[in-house]
Amino acid sequence: MSDRSLQAQNLHLWRGDRHVLRGLSFGVGAGECLLVTGSNGTGKTSLLRSLAGLMYLEGGQVLWVGKSIRDDLHAFHSELAYIGHEPPLKLDLTATENLRYWVGIRRRLSSRDIKGALDRVGGTHWSDRPVRTLSAGQKRRVALAGLILMAAPLWLLDEPTTNLDTQGQQLVSSLIVDHLSGGGVVVAAIHHDLGIAAPSIRRLELAGE
């Protein structure tokens, strides 16, 4: 596989007067998944946002394919798919439209691509309904379709299984397994176990104060 890997070196992050990350280091290589666990407020989201380059670290650096992500943030972002707490969807647009505008900015998409991704997440029947009328779990599935469409080697997922039913959680697991088998890299913050047992999946527990 390629040398695709995400390295965190001695990360220090302060939020106000709280020292959230204290010299955290790890590496995730191609085909590997890192599950970040820990109770609320231990900095899971902050860690993911720092890895994505949205937050500025007080110390340490994040390397992608051996280079600091700050060297060429745009190039790094074009290889990154980050899905936050809330699916980044417009309530007044349909699922299909949302995906076209959201992911289309990054790469060229055909209608067939979008349909294929929505079929994969079980959205065949509600792909043309305004997102306003969808349930929270369905919105999350639209976000997962976006994740597929972005076709990025690095996934940073913040609570990807929120609001999903059992089937949806299995969908997340299978997406991650597929992504890993294709040489992708995944870092996911989760509460619940994903139910994947593979040697390529490791855990990182963030401890509270």
Partner 1 sequence: MNEYGAPASASYGAPAAPAGAVSMNAPPVSPMDVAQVTPPQGSPLTAAGLVVARDLKLAFRKRGQWIQPLIFFAIVTALFPLGISPEPSKLRAIAPGAVWIGALLSSLLALEFLFRDDAHDGTLEQYALSGQSLTWLLLAKTATHWLLTGLPLAVMAPLAALSLGAPIGSVPGIVAAVVIGSVALSLIGSIAAALTLGVRRSGALLPLLTLPLSVPVLIFGARATELAIGAESYSAPLYLLGAFAVLGVTLAPLASAVAVRISLE
| Closer CB to partner 1, 23 or 195, in the complex | 23
| Closer CB to partner 1, 146 or 169, in the complex | 146
Size of the site for partner 1 (CB under 8 A): 82
- Regarding 48 and contact with partner 1 (CB under 8 A), the answer is no
Do 112 and 127 touch, CB atoms closer than 8 A?
A: no
* Binds partner 1 (CB under 8 A): choice among 17, 105, 112, 197: 105
What is the nearest approach in angstroms of partner 1 to the Cβ of residue 161? Answer: 18
Contacts of 50 (CB under 8 A, 6+ apart): 11, 13, 21, 57, 62
- Regarding 18 and contact with partner 1 (CB under 8 A), the answer is no
Label residues 145-156 b or e (16+ Cβ within 10 Å = b): bbbbbbbbbbbb
* Binds partner 1 (CB under 8 A): choice among 39, 41, 54, 119: 54
- Regarding 29 and contact with partner 1 (CB under 8 A), the answer is yes
Residue ranges in 139-178 that form contacts with partner 1 under rule CB under 8 A: 148, 151-153, 175, 178
* Binds partner 1 (CB under 8 A): choice among 41, 59, 71, 78: 78
| Closer CB to partner 1, 23 or 167, in the complex | 23
Do 58 and 50 touch, CB atoms closer than 8 A?
A: no
Backbone φ, ψ for residue 31 (5° rounding): 75, 15
- Regarding 80 and contact with partner 1 (CB under 8 A), the answer is yes
Candidates 171, 173, 182; CA nearest to 201 is 173
- Regarding 107 and contact with partner 1 (CB under 8 A), the answer is yes
> What are the DSSP calls for 113-181, one per residue?
HHHHHHHHTT-TTTTTSBGGGS-HHHHHHHHHHHHHHH--SEEEEESTTTT--HHHHHHHHHHHHHHHH
| Closer CB to partner 1, 193 or 205, in the complex | 205
* Binds partner 1 (CB under 8 A): choice among 100, 142, 164, 190: 100
